[in-house]
Amino acid sequence: MSNIASIPSLLNVPDRCSDCPIRNRAVCSYSTPNELAELDKIKFYRDFDPGQEIVGEGEMTQSLGSIVEGVVALHKVMEDGRRQMVGLLFPSDFLGRPLRPSAPYDAVAITQVRMCLFHRSQFEEMLSQQQTLERRLLEMMLDELDAAREWMLLLGRKTARERLASFLMILARRAAAMEQKAMSDGLTFALPLTREAIAEYLGITIETVSRQFSSLRKEGIIALDNLRTVRVLRLAELYEITHDDPADFGDGALNSA
Amino acid sequence: MSNIASIPSLLNVPDRCSDCPIRNRAVCSYSTPNELAELDKIKFYRDFDPGQEIVGEGEMTQSLGSIVEGVVALHKVMEDGRRQMVGLLFPSDFLGRPLRPSAPYDAVAITQVRMCLFHRSQFEEMLSQQQTLERRLLEMMLDELDAAREWMLLLGRKTARERLASFLMILARRAAAMEQKAMSDGLTFALPLTREAIAEYLGITIETVSRQFSSLRKEGIIALDNLRTVRVLRLAELYEITHDDPADFGDGALNSA
DNA sequence: CGCCTGTTTGATCTACCTCAACTGCTGTGG
DNA sequence: CCACAGCAGTTGAGGTAGATCAAACAGGCG
């Protein structure tokens, strides 16, 4: 569970919100300079190691906030050990359930993670005082709900091959967006998840994940530079395999969202 | 697609919000009398027949609002015809995506439905003016997100038998809550969905749904008074079959939520 | 009464799971 | 600098839950 690809720096704490790398996308992105100053006073940073639990299922959560760096997975677990990942959160995503005492899932750091946190009570007070904060949170939750429904289609109806292709397309879109360039053949990105975590996300077994990777590789659609680095050789074909509806991604299907 | 069980009356339009049957649970439930008067001015009712499309996938939605009576299903559809239900909405639930022009799913009336609607632009203006409205909408979306994640666990990891039991438990909880009585053996409720719709909801085929119904019936766990009426004979066993985590439903697992 | 639609039941097929062995990397210690 | 332990990932062989295809059945309605 250690030594995950692309460990972020975590060296210089931003400390002032105005320097924050997620300033434009996080829950605070609509906040005015004055509002931001208020948030600045009550926020605090905390780091988590890969594999470390951030929130336990059903646990009372005293704090909540944004992911500044790293990747966090949300899981639901059945008593007999079956696990399903129900969310995968990246920098700027919001973690925690405001207005509700406990979360019905657990959250685990997948990579090294830095969170920008608030105490629940203080955050909720801010929510009531700053309408920009509440508005942005509402928007983010609406987007997460859409993503969850997209995932329900995958879990309910897609084949293993379609599931892996869909997962890789999501990472490819993210990578292209991060690097500010268009999606095209040759696009390369790091897999933040182990095969086991991918299996939990896709609702299949680790062996099936592995077989589907091998299959895509043998067909020349992707290459694995190493276990944790994917190069997409034929992006259009990968997209075809997902059977995703082009309407779901604006026009053109291959645009960076 | 006609003649669905338990067709609601739809006779007397409430017309004034204060008489509205969903007044205490809908998006307007936090609104003050003054705020409610504002909403009253711009709201309008519209009825939909069973099977009628309320919103098409990707369609620009001009209006959005609350379900007053009836049941609405949200679907995602793949080009090859595979369908997955991604939401099932009951009276007081909110339908539509504020702050976003189009919905990434389609919404279909399952029973006779009455909606309390607003024009998008007017509703969004109200959202900005009335913080109670925005707060309640945020809470409802957080709850829907939790429900969606619960469903992801079902779709990713549960067996057909577990899926049907989970579905029946949800309806049983709803029925008990509606009738204001505790959950117990003998509880009877109408199935608002055809076998086909149940299959789309549970991510399995219609034949598998039917087989699981037969299996539960033969074991004496449920009885089917007719095709659309379920009587739960052994509630505790039905709950055992779901393998749901008791923590997810407050204490006691069988309490009416 | 016979048609239409929704549902049940049966027989077979298959994608994925399960169990098990193998590979290859990485780090550690002689 | 090699040996080898430990672990993540891959590959193989066989089993199974649920899909698919097909036929019988039941209730409502003209």
Q: What are the pLDDT digits (tens) for A45-66?
A: 999 999 999 988 777 688 999 9
DSSP state, A251? T
Task: Please tell me which residue lies nearest to nucleotide C16, judged from CA to C1'.
Answer: A208
Average pLDDT (A195-207) is 97
Residue A130, CA atoms < 13 Å, CB-side half-sphere:
23
Please tell me whether any atom of strand C lies within 7 Å of the Cβ of B240: no
Our measurement of CA A229 to C1' D3, in angstroms, reads 29
Residues of chain B with pLDDT under 50: 1-9, 11, 250-257
B15: its two tokens = 């017309």
Verdict on whether the full-model pTM lies above 0.75: yes
Among the ranges given (A137-146, A204-213, B177-186, B227-236), the one the predictor scored with the smallest mean pLDDT:
B177-186
Residue A44, CA atoms < 13 Å, CB-side half-sphere:
8
More confident residue, A225 or A214: A214
Longest dimension (CA), chain B: 56
CA angle A199, A202, A205 (to 5 degrees): 35
Q: How far is CA A170 from the centre of its chain?
A: 10
- What's chain B's Rg over C-alpha atoms? 19
Cβ–Cβ gap B245/A155 under 8 Å? no
Q: Phi and psi at residue B28, in whole multiples of 5°?
A: -90, 5
DSSP state, A19? G
| Euclidean distance between CA atoms A208 and A161, whole angstroms | 9
For residue A13, what pLDDT band results from cuts at 50, 70 and 90?
Answer: low
What is the pLDDT, as a whole number, of residue A253? 39
Q: Does B257 touch chain A (CB under 8 A)?
A: no
Q: Does B11 touch chain A (CB under 8 A)?
A: no
| Sequence-ordered alpha helix ranges (H) in A114-234 | 120-129, 131-157, 160-178, 195-202, 206-218
The answer for residues whose C-beta is within 8 angstroms of residue A117's C-beta and 6 or more apart is A43, A44, A45, A46, A63, A64, A65
Our measurement of CA B77 to C1' C6, in angstroms, reads 22
Please tell me whether any atom of strand C lies within 7 Å of the Cβ of A83: no
Nearest CA in chain A to B202: A156
* Protein-proximal positions, strand C, CB < 7 A: 5-11, 15-20, 26-27
Q: Does B251 touch chain A (CB under 8 A)?
A: no
What is the pLDDT, as a whole number, of residue A249? 63
Average pLDDT (A168-186) is 92
Task: Please tell me which residue lies nearest to nucleotide C25, judged from CA to C1'.
Answer: A227
For B203, which of A58, A104, A156 is closest by C-beta distance? Answer: A156
Give yes or no for a contact between B80 and A243, defined as CB atoms under 8 angstroms apart: yes
The answer for residues whose C-beta is within 8 angstroms of residue A205's C-beta and 6 or more apart is A199
pLDDT per position as a tens digit, A21-42? 999 999 999 999 999 999 999 9
CA of B7, closest CA in chain A: separation in Å? Answer: 28
Find the distance separating the first CA and the last CA of chain B, reported in whole Å.
Answer: 31
Residue type, B150: E
Footprint of strand D on the protein (CB under 7 A): A 1, 194-196, 206-207, 209-211, 213-214, 224, 227-228; B 3, 159-161, 203-205, 207-208, 226-227
A213: its two tokens = 């990777």
* Protein-proximal positions, strand D, CB < 7 A: 8-13, 17-22, 27-29
More confident residue, A116 or A61: A116
Bridge partners (DSSP) listed for residue B65: B95, B117
CA of B104, closest CA in chain A: separation in Å? Answer: 6
Our measurement of CA B67 to C1' C9, in angstroms, reads 38
A104 interaction partners in chain B (CB closer than 8 Å): 146, 149-150, 247-248
Give yes or no for a contact between A138 and B99, defined as CB atoms under 8 angstroms apart: yes
What is the pLDDT, as a whole number, of residue B176? 94
Q: Give the other-Cβ count within 10 Å of B168's Cβ.
A: 25
Q: Is A13 helix (H, G, I), strand (E, B) or coil?
A: coil
What is the pLDDT, as a whole number, of residue B254? 43
Our measurement of CA A82 to C1' C19, in angstroms, reads 17
For A153, which of B76, B134, B138 is closest by C-beta distance? Answer: B76
Q: Is A117 helix (H, G, I), strand (E, B) or coil?
A: strand
Q: Does B161 touch chain A (CB under 8 A)?
A: no
Q: Phi and psi at residue B65, in whole multiples of 5°?
A: 170, -160
| pLDDT beyond 60 at A250 | no
CA quadruple B209, B193, B229, B176: dihedral, nearest 10: 110
Our measurement of CA B196 to C1' C10, in angstroms, reads 20
Scan residues 92-111 of B and list those with Cβ closer than 8 Å to A: 97-100, 104-105
Give yes or no for a contact between B60 and B102, defined as CB atoms under 8 angstroms apart: yes
Q: Give the other-Cβ count within 10 Å of A8's Cβ.
A: 15
Scan residues 50-69 of B and list those with Cβ closer than 8 Å to A: 57-58
Our measurement of CA A52 to C1' C26, in angstroms, reads 22
Average pLDDT (A137-142) is 97
Q: How far is CA A205 from the centre of its chain?
A: 21
CB pairs < 8 Å spanning A and B: 129
Scan residues 70-89 of B and list those with Cβ closer than 8 Å to A: 74, 76-80, 82-84, 86-87
